[in-house]
Amino acid sequence: MIETNNAPVIPILTSKDFAPDQDVKWCPGCGDYSILKQVQTILPELGFKKEDYVFVSGIGCSSRFTYYMDTYGIHSIHGRATAIASGLKASRPELSVWVVTGDGDALSIGGNHFIHLLRKNFDIKILLFNNQIYGLTKGQYSPTSETGIVTKSTPYGSIEEPFNTAELALGAKGSFVSRTLDRDPKHMQAVLRQAHKHKGASFVEIYQNCPVFNDGAFFIFSEKETKKEEALYVEHDKPLVFGANSDKGIKLDGFQPKVVDLSNGSNSVNDLWIHDERDGFKASILVRLFDDQGHEGAMPRPFGVFFVSDRPTMETKLNAQVALAKEKKGVGNLDDLLSGGRTWTIG
Is the residue at 345 inside a domain?
A: no
Residues 181 and 50 in one domain: yes
Query: Would residue 233 count as lying in a domain?
Result: yes
**Structural domains of the chain, count:** 2
Answer yes or no: do 152 and 233 share one domain. yes
Q: Is the pLDDT confidence value at 80 over 60?
A: yes
**CATH of residue 88:** 3.40.50.970
Same domain, 185 and 162: yes
| One domain, residues 152 and 118 | yes
Could you give the CA distance from residue 302 to residue 309 in angstroms, rounded to a whole number?
19
137: in domain = yes
Cβ within 8 Å of residue 39, ≥6 positions away: 18, 69, 98, 127, 192
**58 and 77 within one domain:** yes
What is the share, in percent, of the chain residues with pLDDT greater than 70?
A: 94
Report DSSP letters for 170-202, one per residue: HHTT-SEEEEEETT-HHHHHHHHHHHHHSSS-E
Say which DSSP state 210 is in: B
Domain that holds residue 243: 239-272
Q: Same structural domain for residues 134 and 281?
A: yes
**How large is the greatest C-alpha to C-alpha distance in the chain, in angstroms?**
92
Whether 184 and 139 share a structural domain? yes
Over residues 3-51, the pLDDT tens digits come to 556 666 667 899 999 998 889 999 999 999 999 999 999 999 999 999 9
Residue 323 lies in a domain: no
Tell which phi-psi region holds residue 102, choosing left (phi > 0), alpha (psi between -120 and 50) or beta.
Answer: beta
Say what percent of the chain tops pLDDT 90.
Answer: 83
* Sequence-ordered list of residues with C-beta below 8 angstroms from that of 83, at least 6 positions apart, any chain: 113, 117
Output the pLDDT for position 84.
97
- Do 133 and 248 lie in one domain? The reply is no
The residues, ordered by sequence, that sit 6+ positions from 99 with a Cβ below 8 Å of its Cβ are 55, 56, 57, 81, 82, 85, 117, 124, 125, 126, 127
Are residue 88 and residue 115 in the same domain, yes or no? Answer: yes
